[in-house]
Amino acid sequence: MTPAQLTGRDRTHIVDVAEPACALHAHTVGPFLQLRTAAALAGFDLLAVSSFREFERQLSIWNRKWSGAVPLNDPEGKLLDPSRLSPDERIDAILHWSALPGASRHHWGTDVDFIDGRALAPGYRVQLIGAEYVFPGPFAPLAEWLDTHAARFGFFRPYRGVLSGVQAEPWHLSFAPVAEPARCRLTCAVLREALQASDLAGKQAVLARLEELHARYVASIDWP
């Protein structure tokens, strides 16, 4: 992938899938559909509620959290007041739950946030929280099935709360054969170039810490 593709500023590597509706790297589509077929045979409807995400979308998430336009929470989920936090504290708080623009694995089209469509009760609002993926949560059976079968199709969970600075995300699946080369190519220099050209809130504070942030939130994952 090119630097622009790695950082979500170019989507020429992405294919729009009609069923189930999602957008994935061209080399991820086949394996994901194969995984979905195997899950269906086991009684699940594997859906991606989030797949490819462009730089500008990630930038909007970051800037709204920085300003307080959307809630900002600590690692335990407690609501924070951004106006009472230093720039470094805001950075740390956002990165517990959201990636830096340009640093999201969703830019690559290799990663999805999944649910089980068959487990959705009428009117149920998906939250993407840990309780939904452990018993008696609605997506726990699929999560357990994926623990056993996802690796056969090349998928793994990069955020299990062990090595990565990101909070555990049991809903996050990644296609290793494409994602691992992308992770290695997304260097600190590539990320810096993308951020310098953006209107990122808190940009100077982020750039001053970028090597540390890259090492903790981009280079470090739970692998394999």
CATH number of 87's domain: 3.30.1380.10
* Strand blocks (E) in 69-156: 72-73, 79-80, 111-116, 155-156
The answer to the question of residue 224 being in a domain is no
Q: Is residue 29 part of a domain?
A: yes
Element (H, E) at 24: strand 22-25
Domain count, the chain: 1
Enter the DSSP assignment of 120: P
Residue of 52, 48, 27 lying closest to 39 (CA atoms) = 48
Closest CA to 128 of 48, 188, 197, 43: 48
- The helix or strand, by DSSP H or E, that contains position 15, with its residue range, turns out to be strand 14-17
The whole-angstrom separation of Cα 102 and Cα 4 is 9
Domain residue limits at 182: 3-219
104: tokens are 């999201």
Specify the pLDDT at position 24: 98
Instruction: Please give the model's pTM, rounded to 2 decimal places.
Output: 0.95
pLDDT averages per 10-residue partition of the chain, 224 residues: 98 98 98 98 98 98 95 87 94 94 98 98 95 97 98 97 90 98 98 98 98 97 88
